[in-house]
């Protein structure tokens, strides 16, 4: 494998880079068939309506962090760290492709084609697979690569919810948070992930199963020196009137307040800081915790460029690049139980 010319593409959602980009970003988000499943032109009309109504609220959110998302800069830092990690493989270049704002998939496909790689490895920065995130990003890549005539053998990593270095990196960040909160009593660890509408999960999306697998793996590592650890999974970022998966972080904070338990909140499905961590967790939920009587609220940082996380990404790329082109999980084959119809391995489909 050494000496090959390899393109690695990191997928993320993206975020508005200026106040004026907020509504177009939201329109791109809600135009995605994976988010709103209505046929065209109904989906276009709904995306226009929802993005227009949602934009003022989103502007208030982004006002807290300078009117823009830091996600692109942070993802580029991860790309640079991963490129250094993979330097022994040959000529490796790591690209960043955002789903709903620049640099978008069609732009990055052309950059990768110009690089003329012998192999392409697609690596979503969504550790847990969902039809609304990873599947959407992979579908956009396949469509645009086909249009551009990018024919290099391509591997796609669908998920890595319990990749050992990924789990160890999370545990290393959580430990100081538990120690900090302990001054107010025995803490409860809340693993918080972005929520999904219940109807998405009911259709067989494996996201919840994979989030729970990540949380259980991190808790198992922590329990080695913290027996009896109190932990649970909850979900944040609910939008709109639909029924969403639970329990919600709101409810868990209220419960902790009633029970007088300090909490440590760990973003288990976000690998970079962005509005959901910097505004929701650091400002809005912190305020709710205080109002609910929670004696201490500690927020664990996102993984970012921590060495363990970059090592995990590197291990995934090495394994993927050494296999035949196609789709693979952290272990190669299907991880999800058979009942999850949204698992991308259900048909043996690949990325090439």
Q: Which single residue is written with the structure tokens 């978008």?
A: 104
- Which two tokens mark 219? 């808790």
Please state, as a whole number, how many other Cβ atoms lie within 10 Å of the Cβ of residue 152. Answer: 18
Beta-carbon contacts of 157 under 8 Å, excluding residues fewer than 6 positions away, are: 121, 122, 123, 124, 316, 317, 320, 328, 329, 330
Rama region for 239: left / alpha / beta (φ>0; ψ in -120 to 50; rest): beta
- Which two tokens mark 328? 């693979």
Predicted local confidence at residue 238, as pLDDT: 83
Helix, strand or coil, per DSSP, at residue 267: strand
| Whether the predicted pLDDT of 337 surpasses 80 | yes
Rounded to the nearest angstrom, the gap between the alpha carbon of residue 28 and the centroid of all alpha carbons in its chain is 18
What percentage of the chain has pLDDT greater than the value 90?
A: 91
Q: What is the pLDDT of residues 178-213, one digit of tens each?
A: 999 999 999 999 999 999 999 999 999 999 999 999
Task: Compute the 3-state secondary structure of the chain and give helix, strand, coil in percent, each to the nearest 5.
Answer: 50, 15, 35
Beta-carbon contacts of 110 under 8 Å, excluding residues fewer than 6 positions away, are: 148
- Beta strands 119-124 and 4-12 are parallel
Rounded to the nearest 10 degrees, what angle do helices 164-181 and 307-322 cross at? Answer: 160
What average pLDDT score do residues 273-292 get? 98
Predicted local confidence at residue 186, as pLDDT: 95
Predicted local confidence at residue 1, as pLDDT: 53
What Å distances lie between residue 108 and 27, 148, 272, CA to CA?
Answer: 20, 11, 20
CA atoms of 304 and 193, how far apart (whole Å)? 16
Q: What is the pLDDT of residues 203-239, one digit of tens each?
A: 999 999 999 999 999 999 999 999 999 999 999 988 7
Beta-carbon contacts of 40 under 8 Å, excluding residues fewer than 6 positions away, are: none
| Whether the predicted pLDDT of 348 surpasses 50 | no
Predicted local confidence at residue 350, as pLDDT: 38
Predicted local confidence at residue 4, as pLDDT: 86
Most confident residue range from 40-44, 75-79, 88-92, 337-341: 75-79
Q: What is the pLDDT of residues 83-128, one digit of tens each?
A: 999 999 999 999 999 999 999 999 999 999 999 999 999 999 999 9
What average pLDDT score do residues 323-328 get? 92
Mean pLDDT of the chain: 95
| Whether the predicted pLDDT of 318 surpasses 70 | yes
Work out the angle at residue 139's Cα, subtended by the Cα atoms of residues 306 and 105, and round it to the nearest 5 degrees: 60
Helices (H), 17-133: 22-31, 42-63, 71-85, 105-115
Q: What is the pLDDT of residues 133-155, one digit of tens each?
A: 999 999 999 999 999 999 999 99
CA atoms of 263 and 171, how far apart (whole Å)? 16
Predicted local confidence at residue 74, as pLDDT: 98
Q: What is the pLDDT of residues 8-39, one digit of tens each?
A: 999 999 999 999 999 999 999 999 998 888 99
Question: Can you list the domains of the chain with their CATH numbers?
Answer: 4-160+307-347 (3.40.50.1400), 164-299 (3.40.50.1400)
| Whether the predicted pLDDT of 349 surpasses 70 | no
Helix (H) and strand (E) counts for the chain? 12, 9
Predicted local confidence at residue 347, as pLDDT: 56
CA atoms of 77 and 55, how far apart (whole Å)? 28
CA atoms of 15 and 47, how far apart (whole Å)? 17
Predicted local confidence at residue 346, as pLDDT: 74
DSSP state of 277: I
Tell me the Cα Rg of the chain.
20
Of 270, 279, 336, nearest to 309 by C-alpha is 270
Measured over the CA atoms of residue 244, residue 248, residue 249 and residue 253, the dihedral's sign is positive
CA atoms of 2 and 88, how far apart (whole Å)? 7
CA atoms of 6 and 321, how far apart (whole Å)? 8
Predicted local confidence at residue 112, as pLDDT: 98
CA atoms of 252 and 234, how far apart (whole Å)? 7
């Amino acid at each position: 494998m050494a000496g090959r010319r390899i393109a690695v593409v990191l997928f993320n959602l993206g975020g508005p880079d200026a106040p004026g980009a907020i509504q177009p970003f939201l329109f791109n988000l809600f135009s995605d068939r994976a988010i709103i499943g209505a046929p065209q032109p109904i989906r276009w009309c709904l995306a226009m309506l929802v993005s227009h109504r949602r934009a003022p609220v989103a502007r208030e959110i982004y006002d807290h962090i300078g009117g823009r998302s830091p996600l692109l800069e942070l993802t580029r830092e991860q790309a640079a760290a991963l490129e250094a990690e993979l330097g022994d493989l040959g000529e490796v270049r790591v690209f960043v492709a955002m789903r709903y704002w620049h640099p978008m998939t069609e732009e990055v496909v052309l950059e990768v084609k110009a690089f003329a790689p012998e192999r392409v490895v697609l690596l979503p920065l969504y550790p847990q697979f969902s039809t609304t995130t990873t599947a959407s990003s992979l579908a956009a890549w396949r469509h645009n690569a086909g249009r551009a005539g990018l024919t290099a053998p391509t591997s796609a990593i669908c998920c890595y919810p319990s990749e050992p270095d990924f789990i160890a990196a999370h545990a290393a960040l959580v430990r100081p948070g538990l120690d900090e909160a302990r001054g107010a009593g025995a803490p409860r660890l809340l693993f918080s992930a972005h929520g999904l509408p219940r109807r998405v999960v009911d259709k067989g999306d494996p996201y919840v199963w994979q989030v729970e697998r990540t949380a259980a793996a991190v808790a198992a590592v922590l329990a080695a020196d913290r027996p009896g650890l109190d932990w649970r999974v909850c979900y944040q970022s609910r939008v709109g009137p639909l029924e969403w998966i639970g329990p919600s972080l709101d409810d868990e904070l209220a419960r902790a307040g009633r029970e007088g338990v300090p909490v440590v909140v760990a973003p288990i499905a976000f690998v970079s800081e962005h509005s959901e961590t910097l505004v929701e967790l650091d400002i809005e939920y912190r305020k709710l915790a205080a109002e609910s009587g929670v004696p201490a609220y500690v927020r664990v940082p996102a993984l970012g460029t921590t060495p363990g996380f970059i090592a995990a990404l590197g291990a995934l790329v090495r394994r993927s690049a050494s296999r035949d082109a196609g789709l693979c999980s952290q272990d190669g084959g299907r991880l999800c139980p058979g009942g999850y119809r949204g698992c991308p391995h259900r048909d043996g489909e690949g990325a090439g």
